Structure 1
Amino acid sequence: MLLGAHVSTAGGCRNAPPRAAAIGASAIQVFTKQPNRWAEVEVVDDECSAFRSGIQEHGVVFANAHDSYLINLATADPILRERSYAAFVGELRRADRLGLHALVTHPGNATDGDLPRGLAQNAELIERALEEVRGTVAVLLETTAGSGKVIGSRFDELAEMIARINPATRDRVGVCVDTCHVYAAGYDLRGDYDGVVNQLADTVGLHKVGLFHLNDSATPFASRKDRHAAIGEGSLGDEPFRRLMTDTRFAHVPKVLETPKGDDSKDMVSLDLMNLARLRSYLRDGEPAP
């Protein structure tokens, strides 16, 4: 079971692996730059070497980055589109230099309300970026909660974006399923776990699921609000996570927490440990699903 959390890179990416070790993580997610600023950063050779060495030393098997929250590859604004594309390429380059397995990205916001244009443009820019930045880093389209004109709250939208990408690079594109987001978007993981997984299989395909973000929801079902809660303490409750942790179809898929962290480093560690312990308890208590 590849299990962990989003960990801080404060002070440099080299600090992430020891923080992973502090919570017993075999999978981690990081930011390679400040997610709410456009300013680009370069990860220098020493930083990359230290990060790669730390990953091996501390037993982290899977590591991914989440891209900047400012990036919108579906925007109708030509200036923001080019700025977003340049930032996305920068994210891919840093992920490649650090030896990360994947880059998670939000599918963006069709600011003009034209969903077909937004889907097509997002796929086109991702394809172009993958051609520009060769390597093995996968791009994982994250499921969204569905507020406003955001793309990616429906499985069929993610499937269409993937289908639009050239087969030569399509194998580097998959999805990241966020449990809070899909529940908020109207997929009832609590009341119909099997039905939701079947829909995912029929549209995207389970082989395209490259990562899970494990988050409970602080808002009710189908709220279309992205508000995370601690595992088992939100409107999703324990059962969907017990099913997911014991579902053999996803046993090989990395799973990371994005649950609330608290205000200081001690809180971050203790809260991550609490949530991870709860997830591991589902493995001990439950029988693997067929």
Structure 2
Amino acid sequence: MLKIGSHVSFSDKGLLNAAKEAVSYGSNTFMIYTGAPHNTRRKPIENQFLNEGREVMDKHGMDEIVVHAPYIVNLGSFKEDTYELAVRFLQEEMRRTDYLGVKNIVLHPGAYTEMDAAYGLTRIAQGLTEVLKGTADTGVSIALETMAGKGTEMGRTFEELALLIDNVENNDRLTICMDTCHIHDAGYDIVHEFDHVLEQFDKTVGLDRLAVIHLNDSKNPRGAAKDRHAPIGAGHIGFKAMQAIVHHEKLGHLPFILETPWIGKTDGKERPMYEVEIALLRGNVMDRFGAEFVEDVERIGHFFGQEGVHHRDYILSVWHELKNDPKAKKADKREPMERLYDRLEEAALFPELTEEEINQRLTAWLSGADLRAMTNA
């Protein structure tokens, strides 16, 4: 069965809270940080309601989850204190990951900051070698994430990742997390030539190292090197391409993790569209949300059809406008989904629905999928 879930919170009751949140989205896998992603403060992992969380996971068939390393880990830094903190803290995170019974921790490879790429490559390889050597007793693998290439971050190309792996001693515990937004923004054509992209990856790095896939649409055109995630179907990649990736015959054994942004106009009430995104990608929207939901989505299609609005054309045209027309961007900074939501609100199409419920239906419409013909996977 397709393993698909999202990033969830590990706060409050730890694994129990995370598992329950994942269940609420219809997930059968999920990804967590074992503490805040931007600092080193950590609660003892032993006190994070692990047994209770595992009970929920077992009940819902969650046999594989993923941990993400904190963003503050930068093995590419030339500053000794930053580098040493990165090594020490990553080793501790791997021990916490092992205690959870998780086999992969996702890591942004690192950035060379004021130095150069050659220095960054050597420094990161040195750090990975040291980290792996100090955690040999855990068996946890480091899943290096494919990056978009913004700033001085490393891991933009498959060749760079392969070179990095080759320079690490005893690299059997190095795997890869492929992020769809990142490789799109790095220049790989996953919309029209995903099979070719996979072939490139296999020849350069090896499909046997691929361990996790992050599912994110992109707010930017291919090759932009920006790393700005969009909800599924609301970006340049589009639902059709994302669906093909999720159901690709060579990837079916992997966990797919959504990191799409939270949306909403009411501060404090923003919500991710994880539940509907998962149902769309899995193909069980009718089962998950019911016939009335599908009828509402069809009503949205009829409404925008009368106004001459096509879901893909509209999304791409607004992103193009925001990127290439400074005057338009200054006059109207609203992103595509927000503009579409406002049009539905102005027309009072669903006065009885909450903002989240309208956005769920809007997300389903943006997929362009025939919801009645979908089959569960």
Seen in structure 2, the aligned counterparts of structure 1 residues 90 and 155 have a Cα distance that, compared at 3 Å, is same
Query: Letter of the aligned partner of 1:191 in structure 2?
Result: H
CA contact (8 A) 1:20 1:60 kept: no
CA contact (8 A) 1:30 1:65 kept: yes
2:115 is aligned with 1:113:
yes
What is the rounded CA distance, in whole Å, between the counterparts of 1:106 and 1:26 in structure 2?
24
Deviations 1:40-81 (A, max 9, x none): 443125633333344323321211111111110011111110
Deviations 1:128-166 (A, max 9, x none): 222222222211000111011110011111111222222
What is the rounded CA distance, in whole Å, between the counterparts of 1:12 and 1:157 in structure 2?
39
Please list, as runs of the form range in 1=range in 2, the aligned pairs for 1:208-219 lying within 5 A after superposition: 208-219=209-220
CA contact (8 A) 2:87 2:130 kept: no
What is the rounded CA distance, in whole Å, between the counterparts of 2:140 and 2:59 in structure 1?
21
Greater shift, 5-14 or 248-257, is seen at 5-14
**How far did 1:115 drift?**
1.4
Aligned counterpart, 2:169: 166
Seen in structure 2, the aligned counterparts of structure 1 residues 266 and 207 have a Cα distance that, compared at 3 Å, is farther
RMSD of aligned Cα (Å): 2.3
Please list, as runs of the form range in 1=range in 2, the aligned pairs for 1:228-243 lying within 5 A after superposition: 228-243=229-244
Deviations 1:67-118 (A, max 9, x none): 1111100111111101111221121111111111210000110113321221
Seen in structure 2, the aligned counterparts of structure 1 residues 265 and 43 have a Cα distance that, compared at 3 Å, is farther
Please list, as runs of the form range in 1=range in 2, the aligned pairs for 1:131-146 lying within 5 A after superposition: 131-133=133-135, 134-146=137-149
CA contact (8 A) 1:231 1:278 kept: no
Structure 1 residue runs of 4 or more that deviate by more than 4 Å after TM superposition: 263-267, 282-286
CA contact (8 A) 2:78 2:115 kept: no
Greater shift, 124-133 or 245-254, is seen at 124-133
Aligned counterpart, 2:29: 27
Aligned counterpart, 1:125: 127
Query: Letter of the aligned partner of 2:110 in structure 1?
Result: G
**How far did 1:2 drift?**
1.1
CA contact (8 A) 1:2 1:61 kept: no
SS at the partner of 1:242?
A: helix
| 1:278 alignment partner, one of 275, 280, 289 | 280
| 1:67 alignment partner, one of 66, 69, 78 | 69
**How far did 1:238 drift?**
2.2
**How far did 1:202 drift?**
1.2
Percent of paired sites with the same residue: 32
Query: Letter of the aligned partner of 1:24 in structure 2?
Result: G
**How far did 1:201 drift?**
1.1
Q: Which has the higher contact order (CA 8 A, sep 6+)?
A: 1
What is the rounded CA distance, in whole Å, between the counterparts of 1:40 and 1:104 in structure 2?
18
TM-score normalised over the length of structure 1: 0.90
Deviations 1:186-217 (A, max 9, x none): 11111322221121111111111100000000
Please list, as runs of the form range in 1=range in 2, the aligned pairs for 1:1-290 lying within 5 A after superposition: 1-14=2-15, 15-45=17-47, 47-133=49-135, 134-167=137-170, 170-262=171-263, 268=271, 271-281=273-283
CA contact (8 A) 1:17 1:58 kept: no
SS at the partner of 2:5?
A: strand
CA contact (8 A) 1:18 1:58 kept: no
SS at the partner of 1:35?
A: coil
Seen in structure 2, the aligned counterparts of structure 1 residues 47 and 215 have a Cα distance that, compared at 3 Å, is same
CA contact (8 A) 2:108 2:147 kept: yes
> Structure 1: which 5+ residue stretches go unaligned?
none
Count of aligned pairs: 284
Deviations 1:17-51 (A, max 9, x none): 11111122111100101011133443125633333
